Structure 1
């Protein structure tokens, strides 16, 4: 099976369109979105409609979790960039769209691929797999072999290596894209990076394809119309920093 792995699109439709255009000739059987389809960006309805049309398996991210907490009056409204974007998006989403987001799960174990999908780490929605120590802690709390996560906005692989003192953990990043062949005995946590708001200094959208038959993970970086998204952010009167950071990859 070939998985198209997306994460952290953050309501950035031009970035999502560019990724799907780039991915189409590479062939894939299933789309997995690892959380945070919403938040920050100016195109919440467009992104949700596109993911629904793809029949994507969508995981709950921390931004969806916060948005639903606002819907249910379980979160106090605070002045922040995150809250400003979510409240603006909430005013534009239909009940049908919110009902779909409510069905998104916090973590899925996929027996067909032998993988766990979750937003933050294999054992947490909102913790970050962003360092070797963080990955080591996740591996210690989770006994699986293959995990897919997002949340950091940085494409990377964390893999265990057998050693006399136990498992060592090694990290590999993909600032310009690249590939990784899963070692037969390693346990791995794979992150495709962010479609809509990369944070590794490269503003190009990031996604990955995983071939389960060959254990092959490949990250792709795709340019998109950043100006179009920036103009939409400003037209929506969202915080200007949300437009500025897109061109910086931060």
Structure 2
């Protein structure tokens, strides 16, 4: 049996990361999977990447996100706030950080899961997994019955019913959800470092691959400290305001 902690969209939020890491370990997580967007928006990109390098070296899973890629290619086609945060982030990274980011894959198969940052359909295109058409595209591309993604900063669970229609629901935190592999599922596990559902508490999920169950979690953290660092390290103040409102 392996309990897999699923983290995504950390966005350089060290306090949120530490709180979710502690929570996952208390829940007896044995493997961590980090689904991309490790940097951007938040004030601690170097420390987050250093943590993830250590995790990967210990055999855990780390994927690429679009904000991570933007540190290599430049923040083209990003919103103004996202662009400004990436331009702030880039000069703070060392060569080994860039080498680490450039080594990260888009997807990872961990049966019965396909792990990805965005949609499994053209993962390099960063399509949002938040509508029926994209869900169906992901199901067509994925060889595994359960697609797990981040990118949209919301927690949601989708499944294909007997008539091949896509159904969805917002999961209740802490509820154990059995995922029968006889049908197709897609889960967006939310954002650890910048939730956008009006609740500032961190989001992550825990998958049990013996029983094929998924639990979505919300974890409070020292958000005041993160906000303080955003203001005092020269990031756009709007990023602190959004964080406090869960937007």
- Specify if TM > 0.5: yes
Deviation of 1:96 after TM superposition, in Å, equals: 1.0
> Partner residue of 1:58?
62
Deviation of 1:187 after TM superposition, in Å, equals: 0.8
Alignment RMSD (CA, Å): 1.9
Determine which of 202, 210, 213 is the counterpart of 2:207: 210
> Partner residue of 2:119?
121
Q: Could you tell me how far apart the structure 1 residues matched to 2:103 and 2:141 are?
A: 26
Instruction: Tell whether 2:71 aligns with 1:67.
Output: yes
Structure 2: segments with no counterpart, 5+ residues: none
Task: Name the TM-score, length of structure 2 as normaliser.
Answer: 0.91
Contact in 2 for aligned 1:84/1:239 (Cα 8 Å): yes
> Partner residue of 2:36?
35
Deviation of 1:54 after TM superposition, in Å, equals: 2.7
Q: CA offsets, 1:90-146, max 9 Å, x none?
A: 111111111111110111223xx2321111111233111113343234324445311
Structure 1 segments (4+ residues) deviating >6 Å: none
Change in 2 beyond 3 A, CA 1:78/1:210: closer
Q: Could you tell me how far apart the structure 1 residues matched to 2:208 and 2:80 are?
A: 40
Task: Name the TM-score, length of structure 1 as normaliser.
Answer: 0.90
Determine which of 207, 223, 226 is the counterpart of 2:223: 226
Q: Could you tell me how far apart the structure 1 residues matched to 2:28 and 2:78 are?
A: 43
Q: Could you tell me how far apart the structure 2 residues matched to 1:78 and 1:219 are?
A: 29
> Partner residue of 1:156?
156
Contact in 2 for aligned 1:132/1:171 (Cα 8 Å): no
Q: What secondary structure sits across from 2:216 in the alignment?
A: strand
Q: Could you tell me how far apart the structure 2 residues matched to 1:24 and 1:141 are?
A: 32
Tell me the number of residue pairs that the alignment of Structure 1 and Structure 2 aligns.
Answer: 241
